[in-house]
Copies of this chain bind each other. A is one copy, B any other.
Amino acid sequence: MGPIGTDRVRVIPLGGVGEIGKNMTVVEYGQDLVLLDCGGKFPEDNQRGIDLIIPDVTYVAERMRNFRGILITHGHEDHIGGLPYIIPQLKSKTPIPIYGTPLALGFIERKLLEARLEDQVDLRIVNGGDTVKLGEITAEFIRVTHTIPDACAIAIHTPVGTIVDTGDFKFDPTPVMGKPTDEAQLKRIGNDGVLALFSDTTRVETEGSTPSEVVVQKRMDEVIGAAKGQVVIATFASNVSRIHMAISAAVKYGRKVAVAGRSMEQNSRVALDLGYLDPPDGVLIPLDELLRQPKEKRIIVSTGSQGEAAAALARIAAGEHPKIRVSKGDVIFVSASPIPGNEDTVSHTIDNLFRQGCDVIYSAIDRGVHVSGHAGRDELLKMIRLLRPKFAAPIHGEYRHMMLYRDLCETSGMKRENVLMPEIGGVIEFTKDSANQKGRIKAGNVLVDRLGDREEGQVVLRTRENLTRDGFVVVTIVLDRASGELIAGPELVGKGLPAELSANVLREAEGELRRTLERKKKGAPQYGYIVQRTKETIGRALYRRSRARPLILPVVTEL
């Protein structure tokens, strides 16, 4: 793909179209290139042994001379989670400017400190309403509501025209934290003229408008008010406003709050430091201290609302959390909906919580425990009407969401041919009055394979080209579904391995895993946990003995 002149602006999604997750878009004008968001995506079942999926940024890395920085819409993982793996790939000689609101940058700073990459970036705080000069491009941040405070849409002004990326949004008239979406600013931008709108489409299947966060606050308040025992609220680690709600209810009902789960601890620390959370003294306390309080005084806000095997809620549900025990009389408030693909793990976790005797309140039985952060059809239309773009393009959605968004644009009066269907790596070039899809660049998935959270540096990025370079080790395990007991295996078989991974080394690793699995407490089904422990144990055992990093494929069959 050659250089671009000054009569056109080029937009290339590197992720987040035809999929939900790993949002990232290139916008290029003249000698200036910016990235919008830098997200990660959690792997699906058939990407076993993989920790995260990120976009392929080859195109950007080859154009660093023109690179002006990364603009972040908000601090959710699918918008910032790729940064620790992508920053090093860009091989920038100077610190990379990253622009975002304080909370998003707070989360990013924590991630990059952990990855020891803090020196490679230059974090620049902006707020809704601010503009930033990036060469001949001007980026304007617009406050929107979502499930995280301080989310923004971003307008990219170029001499050819303005491109708006909505980020994730809804029009929540009564957000629990922060102010409503800045409709005046959107309207003004619309009046000035919008060349193209790239819109969130996740919830285009749903008629009407998405309910306000106030719905959840009200329901959480009722549940905590009525609860006799311990209350556990499970949500995403980044969902600061749900922590805020829990603190409000704690104050009202004389309880105290602690957070559980490493990412939740870190995020709440960031939110406290930045003043997003401002609890009265002694209300938000460390977990150990909370667990010395009587049960009826406790609120625990925990990770694991998607049933993730390693997160606090799944461990609590399986009776295997190192500190937290639940029992009859305790209330679990699952403040999330299962992300498609996670239904099974969420449902196993809920079943396990019922087995512990808890009252579990979850989205299938109670509409008030969670509301989406994404715009329903009426809100998507409202955004179109405020901005009145010449062209529109659905992003942040599966293919069917994108198609339905195109239909929706038509009902708003747009011409069907003015709604583009972007593809990952598909180049869209806009002039003042035309839009053309112009070929494809190298793009796609890169699989992030970590050796373990704390063994920093031991990350392998597996691309299409190198996926089988390091060989692979298949680990076969058969489990009893009811008891979680090991029926057969683990059996290791390798293929394409380097010489230092001898049969002996494999046998030793196999023995190590067998001992780990046999030590595991018998009990509830633990499919995800076994997959994860298998990958960790074998990966580390082989690395320790040989410094080799083959791809580990845990194959767990349940009987």
Residues of A within 8 A of B (CB): 18, 44-48, 205, 340-341, 343-344, 347, 350-351, 354-355, 360, 364-365, 398-400, 403-404, 424, 444-445, 447, 462-464, 467-468, 472, 474, 476, 478, 480-482, 487-488, 491, 493-496, 527, 553, 555-559
9 contacts between A and B (CB under 8 A): A45-B45, A205-B364, A340-B344, A343-B343, A354-B399, A468-B487, A474-B555, A476-B495, A476-B553
If the complex has contacts A351-B398, A351-B400, A444-B559, are A344 and B44 also in contact, measured as CB distance less than 8 A? Answer: yes
Shortest Cβ gap from A445 to chain B (Å) = 6
In the complex, residue of chain B having the shortest beta-carbon distance to the beta carbon of A204: B365
**Candidates B44, B403, B487; contact of A558 at CB < 8 Å:** B44
In the complex, residue of chain B having the shortest beta-carbon distance to the beta carbon of A402: B354
* A341: chain B residues within 8 A (beta carbon): 343-344
Chain copies in the assembly? Answer: 2
A360 to B404, CA, bound (A): 10
* A493: chain B residues within 8 A (beta carbon): 474, 493-495
A49 to B553, CA, bound (A): 16
**Candidates B351, B399, B447; contact of A559 at CB < 8 Å:** B447
* A343: chain B residues within 8 A (beta carbon): 340-341, 343
A355 to B423, CA, bound (A): 12
**Inter-chain contact B476/A205, CB cutoff 8 Å:** no
* A44: chain B residues within 8 A (beta carbon): 344, 558
**Inter-chain contact B468/A478, CB cutoff 8 Å:** yes
**Inter-chain contact B467/A488, CB cutoff 8 Å:** yes
* A354: chain B residues within 8 A (beta carbon): 399-400, 403
If the complex has contacts A354-B399, A354-B400, A445-B481, are A559 and B464 also in contact, measured as CB distance less than 8 A? Answer: yes
Q: Pick from A46, A403, A472, A558 the residue with the most CB of B within 10 Å.
A: A46
**Inter-chain contact A398/B46, CB cutoff 8 Å:** no
Shortest Cβ gap from A489 to chain B (Å) = 8
* A494: chain B residues within 8 A (beta carbon): 493
**Candidates B48, B403, B488, B491; contact of A557 at CB < 8 Å:** B48
A46 to B559, CA, bound (A): 9
Given contacts A47-B557, A47-B559, A341-B343, 12 further A-B contacts (CB under 8 A): A45-B46, A340-B344, A351-B398, A355-B399, A464-B480, A467-B478, A467-B487, A468-B488, A474-B476, A474-B493, A493-B493, A555-B555
In the complex, residue of chain B having the shortest beta-carbon distance to the beta carbon of A53: B559
* A351: chain B residues within 8 A (beta carbon): 18, 398-400
